[in-house]
Structure 1
Amino acid sequence: MPLTLLVALAAISWQVAVHGPLLGLDTTAQRAVHGLHHRLHSPALDRFGVLLADLGGSVPAIPALLGLAGLAAWREWRTGVRRWWLPLPTAALAAVLIPALVVPAKSWFARPGPLGLPLTPDQWGWYPSGHTATSAIAYGVGALLLGRTVAVAARRWLHTATALLCLGVGTGLVWSDFHWLLDVTASWCLAGVVLWSLNRWAGRR
């Protein structure tokens, strides 16, 4: 899986860098979303889309990550796990990785957003999506850490709910014209690699 995600991320990044034909998916998705906007004409749905997108911000995603890690550490301490504190540095590492990976990429690609406005000097660019990466990594790592301390059935529900939440964030970003579809897709690929790596690293310890 991580190799597939890396290949997909590399392919999307290459197309964004050279303005390749794959970017046609973005305009196709944008036209479809705008068509739905016109047909539904639902202010409530638009507000819900913005709400979902906002869940990908550093607040509340990073506090949620730290809170879930703290809960996981407490549960492992209660059960006598020797390295019960490990979820805390894992969460801190995940929180640091998000800007370390996303910000340089945004600055390098300097991709304009769906509204077509040119970048201002204080903007990094839209690719990859920071909100998507933040939500997927923060909520995902939190769910992985807490999932290790609960029963299998509860872990499945937790992972499923987290995946749906992250899917909602990406959908809200595209629906609200905050990001192109490929911005979101690339960040999901990046987050998948980070989650797989951190899960393997934490599992060995």
Structure 2
Amino acid sequence: MRRSGPDGHSGTTPPVPGWPTFLLLPGLPALLFALFTWQVVAHGPLARADERLSEHLVSPARIYELLADLGGIAVAVPVLAVVLVYVALRGRRAGLDRWWLPSVAAAVLMAVVPALVVPVKELVARPGPPVMGPGTGFYPSGHTATAAVAYGAATLVLLPWLRTALARRALVAGCLVLNLAVPFGLVRRGFHWPLDVVASWCLCAVLLSALWMLLGRTGSADTGRPSSPAADAQPK
């Protein structure tokens, strides 16, 4: 059983990780990202295999371009913005002391994405698949990173406000589907090499782990959930 918090809510969800977990959560994807980056920069065997694989995956079908567009700023960021406004309003209406924290943290995380991805693109300067023509800056995938953080952060801050396990499972499933659809479309359409999108997943796993731990340590992952169905209706 979870112990009740000092304010009468149930204990922190997700559970606050100890130091070994704290190091493991961002550490493994960070290590993989470093490995993939090294292989791409050195054009090592992993990068060469990646390019050979891509030759067998590319298709000009329009559906793949539409899937890739789900990771664009014009689509993913507005979805996140709507969720962040909703969560902030719910928290404020419920009378939470730090009702603004989950939304602000997720917004800052979204702003960090281009600050990290763009310099890496410039430094690595990886050429794209043949269909993209001349040019560099394809590693890591910006569309994949935008989708992962926008939909992932929206899921993390919205989960505590869903009252049923079915709704929470549906939200997580929807997030996973979107974050598989975007890189699938990017690779199949020939906009990115497979390793570009896998590296973005690794980078964003580090960012989302940081958000998850922040929300857990501050109690924002649980105290945003009203203690009773009538909590939102009570006057503050």
TM range (shorter): 0.7 to 0.9
Counterpart Cα distance in 2 of 1:72 and 1:203: 16
- 1:66 and 1:91 in contact (8 A); partners too: no
Instruction: Please tell me whether Structure 1 or Structure 2 has the larger radius of gyration of its CA atoms.
Output: 2
Shift in Å, 1:139: 0.9
The structure with more helix, counted as a fraction of residues: 1
The 8 Å contact of residues 103 and 157 in structure 2, kept in 1 or not, is answered as no
Residue 40 of structure 1 corresponds to which residue in structure 2?
Answer: none
The alpha carbon displacement at 1:10 in A equals 0.7
The alpha carbon displacement at 1:152 in A equals: 5.3
Query: Does residue 1:11 correspond to 2:35, yes or no?
Result: yes
Q: Find the aligned partners of 1:86 and 1:114 in 2 and give their Cα distance.
A: 41
Counterpart-to-counterpart distance in 1, 2:129 and 2:160: 39
Between 154-163 and 49-58, report the one with greater CA deviation.
Answer: 154-163
Q: What whole-Å deviation, never above 9, does each CA across 1:37-62 have from its counterpart, x for those lacking one?
A: 4xxxxx7xx21110110111111111
In structure 1, distance between residues paired with 2:49 and 2:31: 18
Task: Please list, as runs of the form range in 1=range in 2, the aligned pairs for 1:113-124 lying within 5 A after superposition.
Answer: 113-115=128-130, 117-119=133-135
TM-score (norm 1): 0.88
Deviations 1:73-127 (A, max 9, x none): 12222333221111331132022111101000000001110117332xxxx6100
- Identical aligned residues as a percent: 46
Verify the 8 A CA contact 1:132 1:187 in the aligned structure 2. Answer: yes
- Give the TM-score taking structure 2 as reference length: 0.77
Q: What residue ranges of structure 2 are gaps of 5+ in the alignment?
A: 1-24, 219-236
Q: Is the 8 A contact 2:187 2:193 kept in 1?
A: yes
Question: Which stretches of structure 1, 4 residues or more, deviate above 6 A after TM superposition?
Answer: none
Q: Which runs of 5+ in 1 are unaligned?
A: 38-42
**What is the total number of aligned residue pairs between the two structures?**
192
The separation in 2 between residues aligned to 1:88 and 1:56, in whole angstroms, is: 20
Q: Is 1:177 aligned with 2:190?
A: yes
1:25 and 1:12 map into 2 onto residues whose CA distance is 12
SS of 2:161 mapped into structure 1:
coil
